[in-house]
Amino acid sequence: MSKINIASHHPILDIQDNIIFANNGNVLACYKVLLPEIHSLSETDFEGLHSNWFQALKSLPVGTVVHKQDIYLKSSFTSEYLPNGTFLSKTTHDYFKGREYMEHQSYLFFTCPKNKGFNNPKYVNPFRKTPKGLPKELDDTIKRFLASVTDSVNYINNGAKISLEPMVSDEIMALTKEQFNGHNSDCDTDIVLDGPNVTIGNNHFDVLAINSESCFGDSVQTSKVNEHFTSDDFRFHQGFIDGLGLSLKENHIVNQIIYLDDKHQWRRQLEKKGEELKKSSNFGTQNKVILKKIENILDQVNNDDSSRIVRGHLNIIHWNGEKRELENTTSRIKAEFKELDMVPYYPCGRGRKNYILNSFPFFAPNFSNEDLYVTDLKHALCLLVNTTNYRTDRKGIVFNDREFNIPVLKDVWDKHKKRIKARNFAIFAPTGEGKSFLANNILRQYFEQGVRLVIIDLGGSYTKFASLYPEQCTVLRYENGKSLGINPFYITDNDDVTPERLEDLSIFLFELMGMGTKPKKESSVALKKILHAYYREKSDVSHSLDSFYQFVSKHKKDLLSRLQIHPEYFKIQGFLHIISEYVGDGLYSFLFGTTEDQSYRIEDKRLIVFELDEVRDNKEILSVMLKLIKTAIQRTIWKNRDERGIILFDEFAKQLKFDNVLESVEFYYQAIRKQEGAIGIILQSINQLPQNPTSASILENTQVIYSLRNEKGYGALKERLHLSSHDLDQLRSIRNNLSGKHKYTEIFIKIGKESNIFRLEVPPEVYAAYLTDGPDNKTIMELYKETGCMETAIKKFIHQKSITS
């Protein structure tokens, strides 16, 4: 039995920035690799990444060793980046804390080996020190090597999907300690080489490798079909060896090592080896197979000037505290290789130690020809892992990833507009798929982050949400025959009569008259002149629509001439005729039956819900109500342009039935640009938006898309939102799980050009808060009436459910 104590055999002599000087004379440039999210790439994306890797690496100096290392560790979710300051956020924080997932770190090492020999001995002592020690200064070879590495890194970083970040000294030392300590986090230990086994602390290690041409099947590819998500009508792709990455839910390391050799030297070697095999091809089928592979490689070398012959080595190192579990993982890795039509080599005894020890980045150049396959660089790069876990932003809305259902934060606000220029959003889903549930989840988190919300609701879906924050919210419901108490004409003093105020009032009146938000310029100027005269001449009255109507009616004979307005620019009789329905004894006069303005009631509220369920089918009243709401929002919520705010139109399709609503909403979309705000719409289908320029403008300014499952398909969504083919495949792959321990729905989320499928799993308390109908919702509302506190009602409901289940 032999031991290696890392303290007495440390492999690093010095670190300068991200450059390592190893004790064996090797010089390494070390980088962290930031990869795209798993499931986010299409077949074309994988091909593009493969091409980028090839272009970046093909010109590196002869003798360079490239080592990509992907480390996968079983971990427990800490919830450390989740908010926990409110009832619902704390239950979410606690619910997911401790959930198991695979942590993934990816690294790339460029090595300039001390020994660039073509024929390493079979076994090299990795801890053997170079006799020369640390160089005092970089020689020309090292300088050229580092300059070439910088060029390669810059090329990769200029691509859209992958980026490399230089490691710092502390990261390099921590990674070294973790690997040589066998990922035993609770103690420092030794590497024990006992017979054929490798043990570090409590962990037993094993390895399987692809180390010769005979390990490969007929072909390798940049990607393969993901059988789990693929259906009869579409194909969903994953990386070629992704099954050995996150999907292998055990502690393991994927090492892909590439030796960049001299093409001309290899041409001579291959021709010589080919001649030898031709002489012995009759002595076994294996010789014929290898001969064919060599001939194919020679054809590539001779016919493709850009080809680069390499030697390569792929291995999977895995470990476990239990030997039996180690054997189970070995079987699973073999099965995955079989799926890839590859036969791994299983080293034993001294070979196992050799593979494990020399898979540390500092020792990767130590492999001999017997441990390396020969191929073209393009072929070898198909064996790279190109995806990782879902990325979490520093702040945002909590969703769940598709692999482990752990929370990830997605910054769908994007303050610095790195991904999107407009943060407006749309939710698409048929009835019963959870639109309001998703909207509650998004808006509740925005609210708890300090965003002011205005919800225009025709379905009563936000009552429980609002009731959780009684001091900060107000719910304004329409009651038959009563006004909402919003008076657009109300002013506190003459300073309120600004050009902007007159502009807003004129638009309000034109909308009331059915002329839309974009009247002719001459008509707009005329009405603003009349409004200005009204405030100037009637400074001693309570300003209202009725008062303004009386002013125009009283002066209708000379008003236009006195204000130098051509009669064609403003039709006074038409105006008085239409407005008469809203004043005096008019049919809808109750809507404006207030002299004071009570909009101030919403000024200090951060959650305002306008519940218009009672008038959802009354075209005239709903249309006027929407105009009044718009006025109130402009006068109160949008006064502070630095305050973040969201306006949500729920059941938007039902509002679109009415004239000028679409135009009015487009006005919101234009006006919101001046604010620190966003607009959201909820639709059952994108086809509920008419095909016209106004709708096109709205969709163009909607850059965050949420879609839930739709059994009728997603063709219209793809066409009108200009989604990619992979976006469509992602949509088609949506699968919900509404039974079992972890219930979830899946959501397609597209933020600018980035898209993926996320899950929404919530704790019981949050689920109860978002329910909008059914017996459970009725029970919670009854408990709320009884207790007067929504949080208490939800807690009581959860307790009752736990007793009866």
* 790-804 vs 775-787: helix crossing angle, rounded to 10: 130
Contact 487, 495 (CB under 8 A): no
What residues form DSSP beta bridges with 107?
32, 69
Per-residue pLDDT band for 119 (boundaries 50, 70, 90) equals: low
CA nearest to 111, candidates 140, 68, 72: 68
Model confidence at 242: pLDDT above 90: yes
693-715 burial, b at 16+ Cβ within 10 Å, e below that, comes to: eebeebbebbbbbbbbbbeeebe
Q: Name residues whose C-beta falls within 8 Å of residue 109's C-beta, 6 or more positions apart in sequence.
A: 28, 29, 30, 31, 66, 67, 68, 69, 361, 364
**For 562-604, what is each residue's pLDDT tens digit?**
999 999 999 999 999 999 999 988 888 888 877 677 776 777 7
Q: Which spans in 596-659 are helix H?
A: 600-603, 619-635, 652-655
User: How far lies 281's CA from each of 229, 286, 288, 299, in Å?
Assistant: 43, 8, 5, 19
- Split at pLDDT 50, 70, 90, the class of 195 is low
Task: List the beta bridge partners of residue 707.
Answer: 428, 748
Q: What is the pLDDT of residues 43-64, one digit of tens each?
A: 999 999 999 999 999 999 999 9
Structure tokens at 460: 């009563």
Q: 612 near 456, Cβ under 8 Å?
A: yes
What percentage of the chain carries pLDDT values higher than 90?
A: 52
Q: In this predicted model, what pLDDT tens digit does every residue of 168-191 receive, in sequence order? A: 999 999 898 888 777 776 666 667
Lowest-confidence region among 138-147, 408-417, 656-665: 656-665
CA angle 265, 269, 273 (to 5 degrees): 170
Give the 3-state secondary structure of residue 483: coil
What are the start-end ranges of the H helices in 42-184? 43-57, 87-96, 140-157, 169-180
Residues 6 or more apart whose CB falls under 8 angstroms from that of 72 comprise 102, 103, 104, 245, 246, 248, 250, 251, 252, 253, 254
Pairing of strands 677-683, 19-22: unpaired
Concatenating the DSSP letter of every residue in 319-358 gives EESSHHHHHHHHHHHHHHHHHTT---B---THHHHHHHHT
Average pLDDT over residues 93-110: 97
Phi, psi of 409 (to 5 degrees): -90, 130
What average pLDDT does this structure show over 215-220?
89
* Interval 501-540: pLDDT, tens: 898 889 889 888 887 777 889 999 999 999 999 999 888 7
Stated pTM of the model: 0.87
pLDDT attached to residue 281: 58
- Distances in Å between the Cα of 491 and the Cα atoms of 130, 495, 531, 579 are 86, 9, 13, 21
Q: Over 80: is that where the pLDDT of 786 sits?
A: yes
Residue 589's nearest CA partner among 602, 597, 579, 599 is 579
Token pair in block for residue 105:
């770190």
More confident residue, 515 or 209: 209
Residue 736 has pLDDT above 90, yes or no: yes
CB contact at 8 A, 626 and 661: yes
Provide mean pLDDT across the span 266-288: 66
Tokens (6 digits) for 804 = 């009866």
Residue 668 confidence (pLDDT) above 50 = yes
* Each residue's pLDDT tens digit, 1-55: 455 555 556 788 889 999 999 888 899 999 999 999 999 999 999 999 999 999 9
**Mean of pLDDT values over 208-213:** 93
pLDDT for 679-713, tens place per residue?
A: 999 999 999 988 888 888 889 889 999 999 999 99
Measured distance CA(295)–CA(277) in Å, rounded: 11
pLDDT at 93 (0 to 100): 97
Q: Nearest Cα to 172, choosing from 160, 180, 163, 161?
A: 180
Residues 6+ positions from 178 with CB-CB distance below 8 Å: none
- Of the given ranges (147-161, 243-257, 386-400, 608-622), which has the lowest mean pLDDT? 608-622
Average pLDDT of every residue of the chain: 86
Predicted pLDDT of residue 548:
93
Residue 51, number of CB atoms within 10 A of its CB: 14
- Kindly report, residue by residue over 750-768, the tens digit of the pLDDT: 999 999 999 999 999 999 9
* pLDDT tens by residue, 443-466: 999 999 999 999 988 877 888 888
Higher pLDDT, 335 or 303: 335
